Amino acid sequence: MPLAGRHVISVADFTRDEILHLLDTAAAIAQGPRRELLAGKIMATLFFEPSTRTRLSFEAAMLSLGGRVLGFSDPGSSSARKGESLADTIRMVERYADVIVMRHPRDGAARLAAEVSRVPVINGGDGANQHPTQTFLDLYTIAELFPELRAGRCITVCFAGDLRYGRTVHSLLHALCHFACRILTVAPRGLELPEQYVAEARAHGIAVEAVPSLHEAIASSDVLYMTRLQEERFPDPVEFEHIKASYRITAAMLAAAPPRLRILHPLPRVGEIATDVDATLHAHYFAQAANGVPVRQALLALVLGALR
């Protein structure tokens, strides 16, 4: 099915072939973007939650292809503050823009927006639920680093950190179900991967195994996907501080790591990766963030029908 006109709400809405087509389009665009591809198109960014990378890389993607952007990054400056419903906000914005990128603190908000919108809605993260465009750039990055992923040979991906509330983990795990891989998890107690995600991966024949420590994860993974503790979704601040102190990776811990290990992180990091890791050959999170631009360029071009 063509991607033109489609909403991008959950990774589950996309087939393996559609995801691979998006990654191929991103790789082609990265070779030399076409500056007028989206001329005359307008993208609205409605960010009801903080963002740096997602919003700015969407804007960079749109501007670099000749499109224009409008929107808000602080809901306090929008009519949501006056009590306007999300549905009414969308009914207005769809008249101002050709595509809407939205981030919202509530699970399911993007789906609700898509139900009322006549223009494509792209989910920039809804609560602890999904973050599909982060997944597309994560997969693009993993496939670049480990071509065996696309060749059908198994790689080991370890998810570490807040696997309960981290929406990037939930989305990426879903996408990895299309590929041969082994999943490891390491999470502080109480923040383990919800059972539904474990069950889903296993239903696709993917082995999911909890490992006891970051040390073990470092020794046994190709990709170590670190995540931040999602403080804003955490019910108990005292418990949060306690867990936070126990969970951190440093350069010293990587001294005996397998050379092929690469550390990814959707960012922002808030202490779980020490800055001395940045200079190691394992650090790949800033290159990962840079991939957000070609992947979002490709997604916008496909959804807006400028590429097929």
Q: Which residues bind ligand NCD (CB under 6 A)?
A: 53-54, 125, 131, 134, 167-168, 227-228, 266-267
82 assigned to active site: yes
Instruction: Identify which of residues 14 and 58 has a Cβ nearer to ligand NCD in the complex.
Output: 58
The reply to whether 54 belongs to the active site is yes
Catalytic residue among 6, 7, 55, 103: 103
The alpha-helical segments, DSSP class H, found in the chain are: 16-31, 53-64, 86-93, 109-116, 132-145, 148-151, 167-176, 195-203, 214-220, 237-245, 285-290, 292-303
Q: Where is 186: in which H helix or E strand?
A: strand 181-186
Q: Residue 134 or residue 221: which is nearer to ligand NCD going by CB?
A: 134
Active site residue 55: no
Amino acid at 122: I
CB of 292 to ligand NCD, least distance (A): 8
Indicate which residue of 6, 104, 131, 182 is catalytic: 131
Per the residue annotation, which of 53, 68, 215, 248 is the catalytic one?
53
Amino acid letter, residue 100: I
Q: How many other CB atoms are there within 10 angstroms of residue 84's CB atom?
A: 12
- Asked if 269 is an active-site residue, the reply is no
Helical (H) or strand (E) element with 103? strand 99-104
* 277 versus 307: smaller Cβ distance to ligand NCD: 277
> Could you give the CA distance from residue 3 to residue 142 in angstroms, rounded to a whole number?
23
> At closest approach, how far in Å is the CB of 41 from ligand NCD?
23
Return the H-helix or E-strand segment holding 264. strand 262-264
In angstroms, give the least distance from the CB of 52 to ligand NCD. 8
Nearer Cβ to ligand NCD (54/141): 54
When the beta carbons of 100 and 307 are compared against ligand NCD, the nearer one is: 100
* Nearest C-alpha neighbor of 52 from the set 258, 228, 261, 307: 228
Shortest CB 81 distance to ligand NCD, Å: 22
For residue 209, the number of C-alpha atoms closer than 13 Å in the C-beta half-sphere is 12
Q: C-beta of 36: minimal distance to ligand NCD in Å?
A: 28
Phi, psi of 276 (to 5 degrees): -70, -10
53 is catalytic: yes
Phi-psi region of 93 (alpha: psi -120 to 50; beta: other; left: phi over 0): alpha
Please list the active-site residues: 53-54, 82, 103, 131
